[in-house]
Amino acid sequence: MSHNGLSPDVLDRWNACGYYELVGMRVTHADAAGSAFTLEVTPGHTQLYGTAHGGVLAGMLDAAMALAILAQIPDNEGCATIEMKVNFTAPGNVGALAGTGEVIAIGRRVAVARAEIRDPADRLVAVAQGTFQRFTQG
């Protein structure tokens, strides 16, 4: 178990993967209490109405839930998103967003988590509940 949370090395590997770099999303912390992410919304993230596309927010929420789960399962396990549901509660305007994830229920095979994103004014931008499959890595 990762009682002290995911190591800086593990976080670095996630931050270096393609999607995280593409959207500029970073995990800053993940332990048994949950995960923390940052993302700076730029014009490159926007749809036609000028605010962050749902995909950017959904991706951050998916990741925040996944890393919160990874921090509670053995190092040789991974998790895959079975499904997730997101409510978009306020526009993601250009600027810094903070994401957090936490585990709701963890079973031997399936885990349930939730995550949320807040803007600099601490307004709730999006909130998710999702289901993940645990698997053993090679």
How far, in Å, CA of 73 to CA of 6, rounded? 10
How far, in Å, CA of 99 to CA of 84, rounded? 16
How far, in Å, CA of 86 to CA of 28, rounded? 22
Phi, psi of 125 (to 5 degrees): -95, -40
Nearer to its own copies, 36 or 116 (CB): 116
112 interacts with its own copies by CB under 8 A: yes
Residues 11-70 that bind its own copies (CB under 8 A): 13-14, 17-23, 42-49, 52-56, 58-60, 62-63
Nearer to its own copies, 33 or 127 (CB): 127
How far, in Å, CA of 111 to CA of 126, rounded? 20
Residues near its own copies (CB under 8 A) are 13-14, 17-23, 42-49, 52-56, 58-60, 62-63, 78, 80-90, 104-105, 107, 109-110, 112, 114, 124, 127-129, 131, 133
